[in-house]
């Protein structure tokens, strides 16, 4: 057993805290050697991680071999580039950035430094989706024809959050855009989206939508359709279906138990868990293990910088398509 | 019990034969008093229905109070108009016509004659979909936000049929467009479609697609998304899901038995029935009963001429949208 | 097409009426040429069946080739024997009789007359159970090891009925005993039963039970376990499972639709239908068709006199086992 | 946070190793301060637990506050009694002992010492079964009438193991007997069992069975029926159903993913996991946490010495019932 790799944690908000805890308790290949979050130093203290008051100091510290960036999106680009410059490997939460113009600089910095950049598309590490992909690529249903993704949050985030989120496509659907690419294993050429703000006038007032359908056309002709909603009374709804020439693969939701009840009103089972950590808790651990393997050089990152950039491009195209009511090509948004 | 209503059957192909058999054996409110199909007179003979060699004679015969039109689509408009002129009620298979320009004349003739026109959207009479609609309109899940319809045939029809079919949207998806309207109970304002010909180069060669996604935007902001495919190895796949403010309603496929098998390879159940008559056999009976009620004046037809016309408009808009890669409004195609 | 076979109907109670209607409307191989039930002559009149005031006259009428006996159990033996003496084929509802001593006389009369005796074990004609049996006998799961049958009524019959029913085993579980034999295709050697009267003191007061478990040991070592209850708030519960050397076959309940609903309280589907005719309506038609085939000589009856007698023996043994708290062999009760 | 409680591990076989690993990595309330297993000292070394070559030394060591006994069944009684004498709390694997005569001495020793004795009925800690019990005791389905437990191993253990196992009832069904008591929350008065050796002549040759059905009658009239089999080709099958006056509660198997596949042969999902640790891995952690709570005095043990003794009594009665083909009361075996 080799010595654990030193990890620095940038940002200890909801996701950053989760990554920190996983590094400390579940991934022995890593050791948390520093953390920086001016608003959440107590988290680091509780987990016994040395506190840095300055993220630049953290990314340049010699004991840090890799960083996990869970800071506000506005900081991602700068932090990735700075970490890369110091030769540190990076796991960065999605989205890489909200501006397409920033992406090439990120990719170039990482490339020149020769470090690993893994993007936080944790769903790729979910046991269900990764098994689906494996069966699909193993030929279980022949060539894919159509991918269907349903992705609905239990309830809308607070309006303050939504305002700064970049909109439903960039904030929420981006995970599903990545999932479609992950499964189809080809590139999207055009995007067509429609959306409505049905849940509350406030969402309409900020120019966003709460319900949306996005259709992706891939370069091999495969279609993918994603339906999103900011509200699902029955819980956090995450389903995938791939229809292929010789069959269909489906991933249904996970439930918190297998208990069912039958009575005079019918058959019943519990609603889905509301919280994304209940659904993807183990996937976050596997994602961190995958990052450890990538840093150790024994595997490719499960989602790299290109994957991160492509998802942003699709989200930007979807937003444009919704507004202009026409299909938008990725080529167009890349210009 | 009043005397049965005299029915004349125009066309005894696959569907016409089914209607004839249902009239004879399952719907006592009707009596089959005449049938006309130069290519299938034996069907009439076997069922003991008087044969007419001329459809004009049939629609004008005094013993005929209502007609069922299952003839080739090219004849629909003329036959409906002629039947209406003779004061006969009409059940006509979909589509009413492939040309939008013809629709107003049909509706006007029916209107002026004051006869019933029911369009053959048999799925409205399916026990599952009608129960879903009833629960939805009863408020079970609050206001609808999003409708998802999956509709896949077991295998592509012969190329000769496809060539004259008017394309996937007008031939196949039209049922789903009607289902979306039936469930949402509002009007579609714009249509956005994408499609691919992935199954065979022949389908591409005739300018059609075999896999498609269509997004409908309703005037109340509700979205509907329909995915179609000409091939599903696991059988005739017909599912519907309505996501609402307070919940979700789902209709899954029916299976030919509840038998499951578990073995070292896993858990298994039979594929879906391949044949639409296995899936919708009872729905066709209920559709005919609904027509009988409409003719008797005790109920509205389950799908009327406007419903038939709207579905054609949506299909035409979908085809245009697919080709021009933009959202198409119904207002635009109606002009 | 040959002329239909003349059927006489003895008894027009709940089941007799159903058989009569099926003969008239669903089984063209039969023609209902006479019916006898002093308490329900109106049923015959409504269905247009000639009324006989005397069952002996009916079973001896020349136009009657076969009879369906749905009369009270007390009359079964006499009516079967009389019908056989006149050379009429017989479909008799279960149980053949409540007394073991009577059974040999029935079987002998039928045997000597060379007529068909089919016993009304309608569940053998259910599409699910017959498919399960076919897969089992086709080797889908290897040799069977264990059969599990769950059979629960929606609610207890009225106490007056229960008093004369012969008890839970002879009245209700007898169907399940036959199902076990049908599936295992071997003979039962011993029976062990336990029961409780938990639903109401009245059931205990008449010496009966409302909840019971019966274990059958077959001559090939296979075990079958049957659980019965007179009450199931969620509907009429009819499930079967066969565990074999190489796998398991399961038949789940049928549901009246595939609609499911999800909301903040969870996922829901309708309760099971309460009425056995909703569950087994089609099975009764298939049972009558099977009888027609047996009478025509083109197939064996789906359950013959021996099957009818064996089920009574098992039920009698189960009742004895419950009372004496020990396993009871069929050999013992047959003496 | 108080200091962790010192735990000594007796036995490091398959289960002992699991307990050791859980103590070390998952249950911070405990510290593993010593382990003893002459055949598996490497396990202790790998986990960094101090090795004791003598279990007597371990149970008397001052740093040991509680012991986990996973040694061969023959040693259980002696080790529990010795541990109790030294004032150590005990978590002991099932069965407490194979001889009924030994049980009172165990219970007395624990009682006199005032220590906690928890028995290793890990399934009580399974999230599904504990939820079922909670719903049941909360009145979700009214009074229970009937409990059904299906419990099947993927494949028979080696013959050498089976020979010394005490038989199917004492080795395997004992878990299910405890589950029935756990759910019904009443005491068993009589036991009726039937069994067959169908899988291999070797099992018959050692006087054991591989397929069995056991019916328990509780003092409140509730019935429980348990079906066991040493082989299930489709995996480790663990299901429970409770039928009550107002409804039914069901626990189905857990699956390793929610992936399903549909193709021309039907719909498919993976077999169940074969290994009990895949099914009950988390339950073992929760069991250890429950032991920690019991030792800390903040909760009762989830299964105590009486529970352990009752399960052995039921198993002994079941074996006797099978051999003598009659219901056996617990009173009788206790004498």
CB of B253 less than 8 A from some CB of A: no
**Among candidate residues C244, C30, C290, the one with its CA nearest the CA of residue C139:** C244
Helices within chain A (DSSP H only): 14-25, 41-47, 55-60, 73-85, 103-113, 127-137, 159-163, 168, 174-184, 201-205, 276-296, 305-324, 330-334
pLDDT at site C3: 86
Of A213, A231, A247, nearest to B215 by CB-CB distance is A213
Task: Spell out which residues of chain C touch residue B249, defining contact as CB-CB under 8 Å.
Answer: 259-262
pLDDT at site C325: 97
Task: Please give the average per-residue pLDDT across C184-191, as a whole number.
Answer: 97
Identify the closest residue of chain A to D131 by CA–CA distance.
A259
Task: Spell out which residues of chain A touch residue C263, defining contact as CB-CB under 8 Å.
Answer: 233-234, 271
Of C148, C211, C327, nearest to D325 by CB-CB distance is C327
Task: Spell out which residues of chain D touch residue B267, defining contact as CB-CB under 8 Å.
Answer: 234, 268-271
Task: Spell out which residues of chain D touch residue A259, defining contact as CB-CB under 8 Å.
Answer: 128, 131-132, 135, 249-251
Q: Which two tokens stand for residue B19?
A: 């209607």
Identify the closest residue of chain C to A236 by CA–CA distance.
C264
- Give the minimum alpha-carbon distance from B3 to chain C in angstroms, rounded to a whole number: 17
Of D250, D254, D256, nearest to A260 by CB-CB distance is D250
Question: What is the spatial distance between Cα D107 and Cα D101, in angstroms, rounded to a whole number?
Answer: 11
pLDDT at site B143: 97
Flag whether pLDDT at D277 surpasses 90: no
Helix or strand holding residue C196 (H, E): strand C188-196
pLDDT at site C54: 95
Flag whether pLDDT at A211 surpasses 60: yes
Tens digit of each residue's pLDDT (9 = 90 or more) over A220-238: 999 999 999 999 999 999 9
Rounded to whole angstroms, what are the CA distances from A258 to A261, A269, B89, B115, D238? 10, 8, 53, 55, 11
Question: What is the spatial distance between Cα D7 and Cα D58, in angstroms, rounded to a whole number?
Answer: 10
Flag whether pLDDT at A1 surpasses 90: no
Between helices C103-113 and C305-324, what is the axis angle to 10°?
A: 170
Tens digit of each residue's pLDDT (9 = 90 or more) over B244-269: 999 999 999 999 999 999 999 999 99
Flag whether pLDDT at D1 surpasses 80: no
Helix or strand holding residue B239 (H, E): strand B237-244
pLDDT at site D33: 98
Task: Please give the average per-residue pLDDT across A71-89, as a whole number.
Answer: 97
CB of B259 less than 8 A from some CB of D: no
Task: Spell out which residues of chain B touch residue D262, defining contact as CB-CB under 8 Å.
Answer: 233-234, 271
Of A248, A258, A261, nearest to D140 by CB-CB distance is A261
pLDDT at site A75: 97
Tens digit of each residue's pLDDT (9 = 90 or more) over A281-308: 999 999 999 999 999 999 999 999 999 9
Of B152, B192, B231, nearest to A194 by CB-CB distance is B192
- Give the minimum alpha-carbon distance from B17 to chain C in angstroms, rounded to a whole number: 19
Task: Spell out which residues of chain C touch residue A264, defining contact as CB-CB under 8 Å.
Answer: 233-234, 271
Q: Which two tokens stand for residue D152?
A: 């099947």
B335 — pLDDT class (breaks 50, 70, 90)? confident
pLDDT at site D278: 84
CA dihedral D22, D25, D30, D31 (to 10 degrees): 110
Tens digit of each residue's pLDDT (9 = 90 or more) over D237-264: 999 999 999 999 999 999 999 999 999 9
Cβ within 8 Å, pair D266-B265: no
Contacts of D59 (CB under 8 A, 6+ apart): D8, D10, D67, D79, D82, D83, D86, D88
**Among candidate residues C161, C156, C159, C157, the one with its CA nearest the CA of residue C72:** C161
Task: Spell out which residues of chain C touch residue D234, defining contact as CB-CB under 8 Å.
Answer: 247-248
CB of A204 less than 8 A from some CB of B: no
Task: Please give the average per-residue pLDDT across A93-112, as a whole number.
Answer: 96
pLDDT at site A282: 94
CB of A229 less than 8 A from some CB of B: yes
Supply the DSSP symbol for B307.
H
CA dihedral A24, A29, A34, A38 (to 10 degrees): -50
Rounded to whole angstroms, what are the CA distances from B263 to B266, C150, C240, D235? 5, 22, 17, 8
D51 within 8 A of D36, measured Cβ to Cβ: yes
Chains contacting C (3+ CB pairs below 8 angstroms): A, B, D
pLDDT at site B291: 98
pLDDT at site A276: 84
Cα of first residue to Cα of last residue in chain A, in angstroms, is 48
Flag whether pLDDT at B1 surpasses 70: no
Task: Spell out which residues of chain A touch residue B215, defining contact as CB-CB under 8 Å.
Answer: 192, 194, 213, 215
| Strand partners of residue A333 | none
CB of C326 less than 8 A from some CB of B: no
- Give the minimum alpha-carbon distance from D71 to chain A in angstroms, rounded to a whole number: 29
Tens digit of each residue's pLDDT (9 = 90 or more) over B95-116: 999 999 999 999 999 999 999 9
CB of B282 less than 8 A from some CB of C: no
pLDDT at site B276: 84
Give backbone dihedrals phi and psi of A5, rounded to 5 degrees, phi first: -85, 135
D291 within 8 A of D65, measured Cβ to Cβ: no
pLDDT at site C63: 97
CB of C257 less than 8 A from some CB of B: yes
pLDDT at site A275: 82
Using alpha carbons only, how large is chain B's radius of gyration in Å?
Answer: 20
pLDDT at site C277: 83
Flag whether pLDDT at C60 surpasses 80: yes
Tens digit of each residue's pLDDT (9 = 90 or more) over C262-308: 999 999 999 999 888 889 999 999 999 999 999 999 999 999 999 99
pLDDT at site A295: 97
Task: Spell out which residues of chain B touch residue A203, defining contact as CB-CB under 8 Å.
Answer: none
Cβ within 8 Å, pair A211-B248: no
pLDDT at site D318: 98
B92 — pLDDT class (breaks 50, 70, 90)? very high
CA dihedral A55, A59, A60, A65 (to 10 degrees): 150
Of B132, B253, B258, nearest to C251 by CB-CB distance is B258
- State the complex-level ipTM: 0.95
Task: Please give the average per-residue pLDDT across A203-225, as a whole number.
Answer: 97
Chains contacting A (3+ CB pairs below 8 angstroms): B, C, D
Using alpha carbons only, how large is chain C's radius of gyration in Å?
Answer: 20
Cβ within 8 Å, pair B145-A211: yes
Mean pLDDT of all residues belonging to chain D: 96
Task: Spell out which residues of chain D touch residue B258, defining contact as CB-CB under 8 Å.
Answer: none
Share of chain B above pLDDT 90, in %: 96
Decide: residue C38, CB within 10 A, 0-12 exposed, 13-18 middle, 19+ buried: exposed
Question: What is the spatial distance between Cα A203 and Cα A199, in angstroms, rounded to a whole number?
Answer: 8
Task: Please give the average per-residue pLDDT across C180-196, as a whole number.
Answer: 98
Flag whether pLDDT at D329 surpasses 80: yes
Tens digit of each residue's pLDDT (9 = 90 or more) over B118-173: 999 999 999 999 999 999 999 999 999 999 999 999 999 999 999 999 999 999 99
List all residues of chain C from 47 to 76 with a beta carbon under 8 Å from chain A: none
pLDDT at site C211: 98
Cβ within 8 Å, pair D262-A250: yes
- Give the minimum alpha-carbon distance from A60 to chain C in angstroms, rounded to a whole number: 48
CB of D127 less than 8 A from some CB of A: yes
Query: How would you classify the pairing of strands A247-251 and A237-244?
Result: antiparallel
**Among candidate residues A65, A72, A76, the one with its CA nearest the CA of residue A39:** A72
Tens digit of each residue's pLDDT (9 = 90 or more) over B283-326: 999 999 999 999 999 999 999 999 999 999 999 999 999 999 99
- Give the minimum alpha-carbon distance from A141 to chain D in angstroms, rounded to a whole number: 7
CB of C326 less than 8 A from some CB of D: yes
> Whole-model pTM?
0.95
Cβ within 8 Å, pair B140-C261: yes
Contacts of D21 (CB under 8 A, 6+ apart): D47
Question: What is the spatial distance between Cα A273 and Cα A280, in angstroms, rounded to a whole number?
Answer: 11
Decide: residue A41, CB within 10 A, 0-12 exposed, 13-18 middle, 19+ buried: middle
CB of A160 less than 8 A from some CB of D: no
Cβ within 8 Å, pair C248-B263: yes
A115 within 8 A of A83, measured Cβ to Cβ: yes
C-alpha C282: how far from chain center: 14
Tens digit of each residue's pLDDT (9 = 90 or more) over C200-258: 999 999 999 999 999 999 999 999 999 999 999 999 999 999 999 999 999 999 999 99
Tens digit of each residue's pLDDT (9 = 90 or more) over B70-84: 999 999 999 999 999
D285 — pLDDT class (breaks 50, 70, 90)? very high
Share of chain B above pLDDT 70, in %: 99
Flag whether pLDDT at D191 surpasses 90: yes
Buried b (16+ CB within 10 A) or exposed e, C167-182: bbbbbbbbbbbbbbbb
Flag whether pLDDT at D2 surpasses 80: no
Q: Which of D168, D192, D241, D328 to mutate to test the interface with C (most CBs of C within 10 A)?
A: D192
CB of C234 less than 8 A from some CB of A: yes
């Amino acid at each position: 057993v080799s010595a654990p790799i030193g990890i620095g944690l940038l940002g200890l908000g909801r996701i950053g805290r989760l990554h920190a805890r996983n590094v400390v308790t579940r991934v022995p290949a890593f050791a948390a050697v520093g953390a920086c979050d001016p608003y959440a130093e107590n988290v680091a203290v509780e987990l016994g991680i040395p506190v840095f008051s300055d993220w630049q100091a953290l990314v340049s510290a010699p004991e840090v071999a890799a960083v996990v960036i869970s800071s506000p999106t506005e900081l991602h680009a700068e932090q990735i580039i700075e970490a890369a410059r110091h030769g540190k490997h990076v796991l960065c939460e999605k989205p890489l950035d909200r501006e397409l113009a920033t992406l090439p600089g990120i990719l170039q910095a990482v490339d020149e430094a020769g470090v690993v950049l893994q993007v936080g598309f944790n769903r790729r590490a979910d046991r269900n989706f990764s098994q689906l992909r494996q069966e699909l690529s193993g030929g279980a249903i022949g060539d894919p024809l159509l991918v269907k993704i349903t992705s609905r949050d239990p309830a809308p985030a607070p309006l303050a959050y939504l305002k700064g989120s970049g909109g439903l496509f960039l904030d929420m659907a981006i995970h599903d855009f990545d999932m479609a690419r992950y499964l189809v294993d080809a590139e999207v050429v055009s995007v067509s989206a429609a959306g409505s703000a049905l849940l509350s006038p406030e969402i309409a007032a900020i120019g966003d939508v709460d319900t949306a359908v996005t259709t992706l056309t891939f370069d091999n002709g495969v279609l993918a359709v994603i339906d999103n909603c900011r509200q699902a009374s029955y819980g956090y709804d995450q389903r995938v279906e791939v229809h292929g020439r010789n069959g269909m693969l489906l991933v249904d939701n996970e439930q918190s138990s297998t208990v069912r009840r039958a009575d005079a009103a019918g058959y019943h089972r519990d609603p889905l868990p509301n919280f994304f950590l209940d659904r993807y808790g183990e996937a976050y651990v596997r994602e961190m293990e995958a990052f450890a393997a990538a840093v150790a050089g024994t595997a490719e990152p499960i989602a790299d910088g290109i994957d991160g950039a492509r998802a942003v491009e699709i989200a930007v195209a979807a937003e444009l398509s919704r507004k202009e009511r026409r299909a938008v090509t990725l080529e167009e948004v890349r210009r």
